[in-house]
Amino acid sequence: MNFKTKFQLSLMMFLEFFIWGGWFVTMGIYLPNTLEASGGDIAQAYSTQSWGAIIAPFFIGLIADRFFNAERILGVLHLIGAFLMYQLANAQDFSVFYPYVLGYMIAYMPTLALVNSVSFNQMKDPAKEFSFVRVFGTIGWIIAGLTISYLGWDSEQGVQEGLLKNTFLMVAIASAALGVFSFTLPKTPPQVDKGEKISFGDIIGLDALKLLKDRNFLIFFLASVLICIPLAFYYQHAGQFLGEIGVSNPAAKMSIGQISEVLFMLLLPFFFKKFGFKKTILFGMLAWFIRYLLFAYGDSGELAFMLILGIALHGICYDFFFVSGQIYTDTKAGERYKSAAQGLITLATYGVGMLVGFWVAGKITDTYLISENVHNWKNIWTFPAIFALGVLVLFALFFKNEKVAYKE
């Protein structure tokens, strides 16, 4: 790739994740404080990510891969997203907010695959070149969080004044910019011939179901779905939790999780090669357990360091489990079922697993509501801690260790 292409792809990835990080983290603070939403309402709002993840493969498989250039669809979807974000900023109650956020996530989730398609199409060796481009996405997410806190939108006074509304306006502008910019990106024509038949099973990875006959893969598959329940607690309620207990600059604090993702991604090859797949996965699960205990017993005063440490564990929680899992799935599937297997895992985790997780997290949070915007967070965080520990024990007992080669 030449410098111009690298710059274009890096800016595309930066804006893609700046957009996501610019509203998704603080929505958990915005909804109860500005729109007086309940835990169940917040769960509904966050579960739109899962509905988007379920619908996205059909959009990509049936439309994007067959009829239109990826960069053009990317542009159109982000322009639609800009309009929907503007509408979210102006929604006065949750009943108006929800349809717009659902529409937005149905439009946004396919763009995650589209930015990868545009990137891979320009790369001779994606295994070596993609990480350089993708890291700008993580930087975009971090910058979004730091911007929100720098401008004071997530401060106690800012939240009371409803300033988090500005996050949706900021993202609307960024989405419009990426929408226009996308039409200048390198051309990425359809990958599948229009006349080629594609089935429902091809899109959702049904061919990969035969991998579940392998007992080890079945155990891993079930663990992947179950671990999404504690993951949903973090995405849905961590920002709300930090804001509610009086932690300053919660959006900036949450960006520490993305910084740790980058660091532990660099450490993952070392852990994977030294300790093997099973121990790396178990280490990731243990991090989930420790993180939620830190959240349960930390506070915004002298024990604030426990909360920061819990956020910083996000890199281990995510990279050691999900990235290792992608490598394992790739190894088990082989060339023939590689795409189908990754599609099935994505649908099962970000689709079904997270959908159940968001619902459970909302129910648990509402159960421990003490008064308006006051929760018993110790009890709330104890649930995902115990659940993660249970998944860890089951995986340790029933998954037989096997050698898995690390693939860059």
Which segment, 312-326, 331-345, 373-387, is predicted with the most confidence on average? Answer: 373-387
Environment class of residue 220 by beta-carbon count within 10 Å: exposed (0-12), middle (13-18) or buried (19+)?
buried
Q: How far is CA 49 from CA 11, 40, 117, in A?
A: 23, 15, 20
d(CA 155, CA 165): 13
Which segment, 44-58, 94-108, 207-221, 336-350, is predicted with the most confidence on average? Answer: 94-108
Give me the pLDDT at residue 387, please: 96
371 SS3 class: strand
Residue 131 has pLDDT above 80, yes or no: no
Per the CB < 8 A criterion, the answer to whether 353 and 217 are in contact is: no
Confidence tier at 103 by pLDDT (50, 70, 90):
very high
Residue 195 has pLDDT above 60, yes or no: no
Query: Mean pLDDT, to the nearest integer, of 114-138?
Result: 82
Residue 330 has pLDDT above 70, yes or no: yes
Give me the pLDDT at residue 64, please: 61
What residues have CB less than 8 Å from 3, skipping those under 6 apart?
A: none
Query: Mean pLDDT, to the nearest integer, of 212-236?
Result: 91
Per the CB < 8 A criterion, the answer to whether 297 and 378 are in contact is: yes
Query: Which H or E element spans position 375?
Result: strand 374-375
Residue 205 has pLDDT above 60, yes or no: no
- Exposure b/e, 125-164, CB count within 10 A at least 16 = b: eeeebbeebbbbbbbbbbbbbebbbeeebbbeebbeeebb
d(CA 23, CA 90): 14
Query: Mean pLDDT, to the nearest integer, of 148-177?
Result: 95
Environment class of residue 321 by beta-carbon count within 10 Å: exposed (0-12), middle (13-18) or buried (19+)?
buried
What residues have CB less than 8 Å from 329, skipping those under 6 apart?
A: 217, 220, 341, 342, 345
Whether the model pTM is above 0.75: yes
Give me the pLDDT at residue 218, please: 92
Confidence tier at 334 by pLDDT (50, 70, 90):
low
Return the higher-pLDDT residue of 198 and 109.
109
